[in-house]
Amino acid sequence: MIYLDYAATAPVPRAVADAMIEVLTERYGNPSSQYPFGAEMKKRVEDWRRAVAALLDCPAEGLHFTSCGTEGDNWALRAAVWQNRHVGNHIVTTAVEHSAVLECCKWLEREGCEVTYLAPDQNGSLTAEQVLEAVRPDTAAVSVMLVNNELGTVYPVADIARGLAARNPKTLLHTDAVQGLGTFSARALGADFVTVSAHKIGGPKGVGALYIGPRARNPRPLLAGGGQERGLRSGTEATAQIAGFARAAELRLENRERNRAHLEALHAVALEKLLAIPDMVCVGAGTAPHILSVSLAGWPAGNIVNDLGSQGICVSAGSACHQGKPSHVVAALKLPKRVAAGVIRLSFGPGTTEADIDACAQALRRHRDTRMPML
């Protein structure tokens, strides 16, 4: 199998699985238990928290474990709106956010909020000025993702954070940084809420984290109960998943520069080989090194994904969360119909090789040469 869908999920390294197995079979105590076996696990959870915080470059006390990125996005938006309920009920976000943000915004609209959805240009780009111009005196929250999961576009979150300090210092800023984990410093970004997820970097599914910065005073708890996660997200800690997240974070931190150089080289090779195929065009700015969006204009993306899949080559037609439905991200670009219909995403990881790129390019060329265009 040739796996080119790391943006959907990444394979779990043996070291991560081993860390989880140890906790599942040997160190399985409940961190809330008072006896030494439980107290040991409570200490280890805090050690693991520091390991993940080190990858984010944020204070460990501000990092709270969640079940996934979706949970973190929903928690952040609702906490920001709650804190600023006396400021106003206006939210600014983009039309190309992950569904976890957009669907939460729709629910908040039903509850009385007003949401401004900013459209990107045809490359999927947005400027900090566009975002700041939409901010009003009654803007409770701004939510702009760090890296678009379909296009690889990197958004100017740090510039937005700096601009908000002058535009409306009460407005809280959230960024869905799930696709950028391991590439940024939360301190440098300056966002009040930063969402991440373990399975994008080789950790297990079922665990993520939300960094809550100091401007988010007394954030509204996500779950009420036994008071875990400093009273903000009650529920018995998923210790095995957290252990796996921490080990994956350690591996990414150790290999960060090597991985980045590897991904940048792969991105350049993939762009060269794919754009050599007739009718293939690049989609979006593609500034993140691990995500490349292209279109075989006129050939429907679903057919391409199925054809390559039958050959053991895994690419996607957009976010895995779409489940075959049209992508709101591609729609927001307002591309020509033939181009929009053929958009596929390739995404790379530490285990991707140039041979994988070659095989994919050859399969795409065969698809183009042997299948009739339908548009």
Please give the biggest Cα pair distance in the chain.
68
Q: Kindly state the tokens that stand for 1.
A: 């199998």
In the block, residue with structure tokens 């993939």: 270
Q: Kindly state the tokens that stand for 192.
A: 């009040």
In the block, residue with structure tokens 């065009």: 281
Neighbours of 188 (CB within 10 A): 11
pLDDT band at 318; cut points 50, 70, 90:
low
Q: Kindly state the tokens that stand for 234.
A: 């009650």
* Mean pLDDT computed over 300-313: 96
Cα distances from 373 to residues 225, 283, 303, 359, in angstroms, run 56, 19, 10, 21
Would you give the end-to-end CA distance of the chain in angstroms? 30
**CB-CB contact of 4 with 313 (8 Å):** yes
Residue 130 confidence (pLDDT): 98
DSSP element (H, E) containing 306: helix 301-310
**CB-CB contact of 93 with 115 (8 Å):** yes
**CB-CB contact of 236 with 228 (8 Å):** yes
109 φ, ψ to 5°? -60, -40
**CB-CB contact of 211 with 56 (8 Å):** yes
Residue 358, pLDDT > 80, answer yes
Distance from C-alpha of 30 to C-alpha of 277, rounded to nearest angstrom: 56
Residue 200 confidence (pLDDT): 98
Mutual angle of helices 301-310 and 354-370, in 10-degree steps: 120
The alpha carbons of the chain give a radius of gyration, in whole angstroms, of: 21
pLDDT band at 285; cut points 50, 70, 90:
confident
| Domains along the sequence of the chain with CATH | 2-10+256-370 (3.90.1150.10), 14-254 (3.40.640.10)
pLDDT band at 319; cut points 50, 70, 90:
low
Select which of 68, 113, 314, 321 is catalytic. 321
**Is residue 314 among the annotated active site residues?**
no
Cα distances from 216 to residues 83, 146, 156, 296, in angstroms, run 7, 19, 21, 45
* Mean pLDDT computed over 51-69: 98
**DSSP class of residue 5?**
B
Select from 320, 255, 335 the least CA-distant residue to 100: 320
For residue range 187-219, list pLDDT tens digits in order.
Answer: 999 999 999 999 999 999 999 999 999 999 888
* Mean pLDDT computed over 64-70: 98
Sorted by sequence, the CB contacts under 8 Å of residue 256 that are 6+ apart come out as 182, 183
* Mean pLDDT computed over 330-337: 94
Query: How large a percentage of the chain has pLDDT more than 70?
Result: 97
- At 342, the amino acid letter reads G
**DSSP class of residue 353?**
-
Residue 102, pLDDT > 60, answer yes
